[in-house]
Amino acid sequence: MSPDPFRDDSVTDPEDLLAELAAVGAAAAAGRATRVGFPVATDIDYSPLAPLFAGLLNNIGDPWTDPAGTNHTKQYEREVLDWFGDLFRAPATDRWGYLTSGGTEGNLYALYLARARFPKGLVYYSADAHYSLPKCVDILGMDAVVIRTDERGEMDYDDLARMIDQHRDRPAIVVATCGTTMTEAADDVPRIRRILARAAVRHHLHVDGALAGVPLALADDGSTLRLDTTIDSVSISGYKFLGTPVPCGVVLTRRTLQQQLGQTPNYTATVDTTISGSRSGHPALLLWYAIRSLGHAGMRERADRARELAAYTVDRLNEVDWPAWRHEHAFTVVFPTPPAEVTAKWVLASSDGRSHLICMPGVTKEGIDAFVADLAAAVAPRAHRRRAPVPRSRRTAETPVPAEAALSAQVAS
Ligand SMILES: Cc1ncc(COP(=O)(O)O)c(C=O)c1O
C-alpha cells in the first residue's frame, strides 16, 4: 500500500523548532570571521529592527503611491531614495527609483527602461560584467555586444569605441560596471560618456554599481557618477556596503525617463511601475536605519577604513611573498589562489587560479593577520618560488606583481 499523502509528520515540537532556529543562527554567526570572499558588511547592528519582522510590510507598487492600510513603509522608502538620489546627484525635481530585491533586479529594470527608450538599442557590457547582465538581456530579448577587458577587469575603451562605431545605426545602451565581481574594477564613466558623445549615437548609460557604487559616490568629487549629467540609471545592492540582513537593492533614474514606461493604476490603489508587484517593506526600514544612524560622514568613514584595511592586506600578503594587488579605490584584494588547507578554512571567491578577499566594513585587522598567518604557514614549505618579471609600465605602488604572473611562475617552478 502506498503511504497516505495527507499524513502530516512534519509538525515539530515548538521547543525543537526554536532549538533548530538557534542552531542556524549560531552556525551563520560562527562562520562570519572567515567569510571574507564575498562583499557583505557586518559592522551595522540591525537587531533593533527584529521586532518589525513579526508581520508583513508590503511596499506594493510605485514608491510614490501608498497602498490601502498601514502595513507598508513607503514614507521610509521615499526618504531612502532621496538619500541615494542626493548621493548620485539626481536632479531634485527629476528623480525616480525604487527598492529592488537586489542588484540583478536593478539591472533588469534599467535595461527594461533603456529598451523602452530605444527599442532597437544594442546593449554593450564588458567581459567582466556580472552574470546577471547576459541573463537580463536574454529575458528582455535584446541584442548585446561583449566588450573586452584588461587583465585587471576594466573595460577596454578602444574596443568599446570600435564596436559602437561598427553599429552606428543602432542606439547604444552601455552598462558600466563600478566594482566588478572579481577584482572590483570600475569602468571609467566620463570616458565612456566621451566615447558616446564622439560617436554621436543616441544612448542610455547605466551603471551597475552593486558593490562599489556607494563607496565610489561617497568619494566622488562630483564629476563621475551623476544622474543629472553623466549617467541615466544606476543599480546598487543594499546588503553589500550597507550590510542589510536581507538581500535588497536600489535602482535610480530620472523621472522624465521613467515616465516613458507605462503607469498602470490598479485595485491596490498603487501604480504598477516596478518589476515586482509586492515588495518587502523591511529593506526600506533597514536602509533608513543605517542612513539615519551613520549619515554621510559615517558612511564615508566606513569606506575609508575599508580601503585602509585593503591596503594593509596587500602589504601583509606581499610581505609573506604571496603577490597581491588591488585597484586604488577598492576594498577587494586579489592574489593567486592559496593552497587547499587555507581555502578549506577561509571562504574566498576563486576563479581561474585567482582568489580575492574583500575588506568590507566588519572585517578586522586581526582577521587579516590570522588569514596571512594561515597562508604563510601553508606555503612555508614551498619557500623557493620564482617570480615572473612584470612589465615596468604595468607596475604601480598598488600592483607589485599581477597575481596571474606570479601564479604561473609558481606553477612552472
Ligand atoms: C557587479 C554586480 N552586479 C550585480 C550583482 C547582482 O546582485 P544580486 O545578487 O543582488 O542580484 C552583483 C552581485 O554580486 C555584482 O557584484
Burial (0-12, 13-18, 19+ Cβ within 10 Å), 382: exposed
Tell me the pLDDT band of 398, cut-offs 50, 70 and 90.
very low
Tell me the pLDDT band of 383, cut-offs 50, 70 and 90.
low
Worst-scoring range by mean pLDDT, 16-25, 224-233, 278-287, 398-407? 398-407
**130 alpha carbon to ligand 1 midpoint, in Å?**
6
Say yes or no to pLDDT of 72 above 60: yes
Tell me the pLDDT band of 336, cut-offs 50, 70 and 90.
very high
| Fold classified for 49-293 | Aspartate Aminotransferase; domain 2 (3.40.640)
Say yes or no to pLDDT of 30 above 50: yes
130-162 pLDDT, tens digit each: 999 999 999 999 999 999 999 999 999 999 999
Residue extents of the structural domains in the chain = 49-293, 296-412
Closest approach atom of ligand 1 to CA 239: 10
Per-residue model confidence (pLDDT) at position 267: 82
Q: Report d(CA 371, CA 263) in Å as an integer.
A: 52
**103 alpha carbon to ligand 1 midpoint, in Å?**
5
Per-residue model confidence (pLDDT) at position 97: 98
Name the amino acid, one letter, at 38: F
97-108 pLDDT, tens digit each: 999 999 999 999
Average pLDDT over residues 110-138: 98
339-363 pLDDT, tens digit each: 999 999 999 999 999 999 999 999 9
CATH class of 296-412: alpha beta
**388 alpha carbon to ligand 1 midpoint, in Å?**
33
Whether residue 213 has its Cβ less than 6 Å from ligand 1: no
Among 132, 208, 248, 327, which is best to mutate for testing ligand 1, by the most ligand atoms less than 8 A from CB? Answer: 132
Closest C-alpha residue for ligand 1 atom 5: 103
Average pLDDT, the chain: 90
Say yes or no to pLDDT of 217 above 70: yes
Say yes or no to pLDDT of 79 above 90: yes
Say yes or no to pLDDT of 1 above 60: no
Tell me the pLDDT band of 305, cut-offs 50, 70 and 90.
very high
**185 alpha carbon to ligand 1 midpoint, in Å?**
14
Distances from the Cα of 244 to the Cα of 118, 237, 284, 290, 358, angstroms: 34, 9, 10, 9, 17
